[in-house]
Structure 1
Amino acid sequence: MRVYPTRLAIGFAAAGALPALAAALAAPRLWSAAAAWVLLTAGLMLADLLLAAPPSRLRLTARPPVALGLSRPADLPIELAFEGPGPRSAEVAVGVNERLAADPPRQRVRLEGGRAAATVRLDPVRRGEGRIEGLWARWRGPLGLVWLQRTEADPRPIPITPDIQRVKDQAFQLFSRDALFGLRAQMETGEGGDFHALTDFQTGMDLRAIDWKQSGRHNKLVAREFRTERNHHVIVAIDSGRLMSAPAPRGSRLDQAIDAGLLLAFASLKLGDRVGLFAFDAHPRVSSGVVAGAQAFPLIQRLAAAIDYSSEETNFTLGLTTLAGRLDRRALVVVFTDFADPTSAELMIENVGRLMKTHLVLFVVFRDEELEALAEAEPVEPDDVSRAVIAAGLSRQREIVIGRLQRLGARLVDAPSRAGTDDLGLALIDAYLDVKRRDLI
């Protein structure tokens, strides 16, 4: 609760101050007139306070969204309800942290029967955890001399993730069970399938699915149906260190990795696999354990929103060793990372090699757009030649590292330069489905 004077009260006090001062200067024995004016003003303000609806009788509530996706604003409904008579109008204000923008930040509402509703649009500015740091409502007394204010705070974070609705729409359109494996049950075949049942052979079915022995017994063509093998463990491991957090025109590599990782997690959960999220920089930051079922996706979504940008160098030894220690069975580990120098690349290769002794590693490599641009740029000045030679040398070092990872047996998804997040997500899903078809996990 907070009480303070309005502009009217301040103007009223100032209006009487000058005449009272002039009277006191002209006739010192009338100095008490100034004190009387101050007491009159204070008395009117006290009367206004006693006549006004007290803040204790106000119920101020807001219903923030469970989560927000970037570029998808959401409404924040606010309700004011007085127990008993209330003021005619009130002002409502919302304070948010730097990851959100509130529009409008302050507005006036009219109350009817002591109740009013307001709506504020929350616009996510940056991925992370948004917070409503304060919710204020204030109203004047019947004389208009004092403001009475009620403040509420909601400590619950609002996860701000990549555009989740777009991820879900894309997954439903392109990566639903029918889109991934075909409309017919016999299309769910491959080295990762289990025999499910027999069915009459129909035109368009794979001839290899025909069971000739059963066909001879039934005097008609009979085909085998297969059920796709499920319950694999898929771990999305994201490097959140300095190189991944560097800003870029399409968003940082970290944002692209989280977007593609969420798409993979959503498709994997829909296909019956178990999914875990792990993030690390100099230390492990996020570890979800494996979860199953499409209903577990909001948990992955909230944890992904908690992966913050970091200025620390990535410790591959600590991060990947910690991850390996938390896996109790063979899993598909999808690693999103980047490297800049041979030393960090050597440490990364060493620890990935240890991880591959037990698990299948799918490595997502981000190309360096600046290096490619410098290496491909037409030289105009002598310095341009030097830059191109150095950039070409660094690019060759990256190719050497990629070659070593492939020789170790890691499967690579090479994120093309200037490709969008959708392209990366499609390439990642294709690699994941190829792993399932070949039963490599």
Structure 2
Amino acid sequence: MKLYPTKRAVALAALGAPVALAVALAAPGFWGAAAAWMLMTAGLLLADALLAARPSQLALTLAAPGVMGLGRPEEASVEAAFTGPGPREIELALGVNARLVASPVRQRLTLGGGWGRASVSLTAQRRGDGRLEQVWARWRGPLGLMWLQRTETPDRAIAITPDVERVKEQALRLFSRDALFGLKAQMETGQGGDFHALRDFQTGMDLRAIDWKQSGRHGKLVAREFRTERNHHVILAIDTGRLMCAPTSSGPRVDQAINAALLLAFAGLKIGDRVGLFAFDAKPRVSSGVVAGAQAFPLIQRLAAGIDYSTEETNFTLGLTTLAGRLDRRALVVVFTDFADPTSAELMIENVGRLMRTHLVLFVVFRDEELEALADAEPVEADDVSRAVIAAGLLRQREIVIGRLQRLGAQLVDARAEDLGISLLNAYLDVKRRELI
């Protein structure tokens, strides 16, 4: 319990000073009036505190979500209930850690019968563990001279994950279209195709699909029908090093990479492939192994939520070598990373080349919109020309790295942050359609 005076009490005490001074100047024998005024004020403060509702009579109940998506506001509520006669109104405030923002910071709540509930909007700033650290409640006595305050420390944790709801919405919109590959049998033939059924040959079908032996048995032309091979291993390898965690105008690239990875994981598990998550910076941080079935998506989600931001340089040799050692069959490895120049990308290219001897690598890079804007901006002063030349040079170096990756045979997704998820999913479906795995 904490007690302190209100503005009204301070004004009441200050009001006695000029009155006491005037009395002392007019009649010095009545100097004790000043002391009497202070004693009267102190008595009123004490009486107000004694007449007010006791902090022990207040019960504060905090309700908040256990999980929330990054950038998607959620609502928490604080319920205040007095067991005896309570004040007409109460002020509430909710304290959170740096990963959360609470709005409003402080609010006044009118009570009815000693009970009331206040809503607080919570917005996540960064992934990780958000914490509701303290709840403050204060109210005034019946004379309005004293504040009584109660503080509780619920220390409630909220897991801040990528915006999974948006990921699911995107995936469900795509799954609602008949065009999504893998939801129905396809007439795709090839070395990796799974035999599905026999059907009567019809005009326009591929002649290579005719099964001559079965046609002879049935006395009519019969063709093989294939469907896309499933049960592939898809590994989502996310670089969480310094460059990927650096802030940009649309947020850290690692958050955008995780959102795109979750969209691909949701679609891949739905189609029937096996999906694994791997994250690394100076050393491996997360390794899930491969999981199957849509019911495994929450596991991938929880692991992705635990990927923290890093200031360390990425060790591609250790990360990709460790990943390759854990793969026991050919897989599609989706690498999310960023690079600054050909020199810093040299080790990355070397290790990606070794990985591609056994596996198919789908390389995901982010278009640097800031550099593109600087390079394309109309110059107004001399410094603008210098910026444009430097930006154009950096973009050319980036294209050199991309060209080397393509010559190695890596599949490439180069898209803006807002288009990354859809572009990645289209590339994944194209890989399956062409049976490259």
Aligned to 1:426: 422
What pairs up with 1:86-165 in 2 under 5 angstroms? 86-126=86-126, 129-144=129-144, 145-161=146-162, 163-165=163-165
Give yes or no for contact 2:69–2:165 (8 Å, CA) kept in 1.
Answer: no
| Residue identity opposite 1:267 in structure 2 | A
User: Percent same amino acid among aligned pairs?
Assistant: 69
Per-residue CA deviations over 1:190-237 (Å, capped at 9, x if unaligned) read 654433445677899877666565566567776655554333332222
Q: Please identify, of 237-246 and 178-187, the stretch whose mean Cα deviation from structure 2 is larger.
A: 178-187
Partner SS for 1:77: strand
| Residue identity opposite 2:258 in structure 1 | I
Distance 1:334 1:17 in 2: 76
Taking a change above 3 Å as real, the CA distance of residues 44 and 393 of structure 1, as seen in their structure-2 partners, is: closer
Taking a change above 3 Å as real, the CA distance of residues 31 and 7 of structure 1, as seen in their structure-2 partners, is: closer
Partner SS for 2:334: strand
Aligned to 1:263: 263
Aligned to 1:340: 340
Distance 1:231 1:296 in 2: 14
Partner SS for 2:339: coil
Q: Deviation of residue 314 (structure 1)?
A: 2.1
| Residue identity opposite 2:62 in structure 1 | T
Q: Please identify, of 254-263 and 366-375, the stretch whose mean Cα deviation from structure 2 is larger.
A: 366-375
Q: Deviation of residue 142 (structure 1)?
A: 4.3
Taking a change above 3 Å as real, the CA distance of residues 265 and 347 of structure 1, as seen in their structure-2 partners, is: same
| Residue identity opposite 2:418 in structure 1 | T
Aligned to 1:61: 62
Taking a change above 3 Å as real, the CA distance of residues 324 and 155 of structure 1, as seen in their structure-2 partners, is: farther
Distance 2:363 2:3 in 1: 60
Q: Which residues of structure 2 form unaligned runs of 5+?
A: none
Q: Please identify, of 429-438 and 196-205, the stretch whose mean Cα deviation from structure 2 is larger.
A: 196-205
Whether 1:351 aligns to 2:351 is yes
Give the TM-score normalised by structure 2.
Answer: 0.79
Give yes or no for contact 1:93–1:135 (8 Å, CA) kept in 2.
Answer: yes
Give yes or no for contact 1:186–1:224 (8 Å, CA) kept in 2.
Answer: no
Aligned to 1:273: 273
Distance 2:334 2:424 in 1: 9
Q: Which residues of structure 1 form unaligned runs of 5+?
A: none
Partner SS for 1:436: helix
Q: Deviation of residue 186 (structure 1)?
A: 4.3
Q: Please identify, of 345-354 and 131-140, the stretch whose mean Cα deviation from structure 2 is larger.
A: 131-140
Q: Deviation of residue 246 (structure 1)?
A: 3.8
Give yes or no for contact 2:233–2:274 (8 Å, CA) kept in 1.
Answer: yes
Partner SS for 2:67: coil
How many residue pairs end up in the alignment? Answer: 433
Partner SS for 1:112: coil
Partner SS for 1:94: strand
Distance 1:65 1:227 in 2: 42
Give yes or no for contact 2:138–2:147 (8 Å, CA) kept in 1.
Answer: no
| Residue identity opposite 2:108 in structure 1 | R
Q: Please identify, of 215-224 and 430-439, the stretch whose mean Cα deviation from structure 2 is larger.
A: 215-224
Q: Please identify, of 387-396 and 424-433, the stretch whose mean Cα deviation from structure 2 is larger.
A: 387-396
Aligned to 2:51: 48
Per-residue CA deviations over 1:352-402 (Å, capped at 9, x if unaligned) read 233334432211233445665677778999998887776666555444433
Taking a change above 3 Å as real, the CA distance of residues 125 and 183 of structure 1, as seen in their structure-2 partners, is: closer
Give yes or no for contact 1:90–1:139 (8 Å, CA) kept in 2.
Answer: yes
Whether 1:77 aligns to 2:73 is no
Distance 1:328 1:56 in 2: 63
Partner SS for 1:185: coil
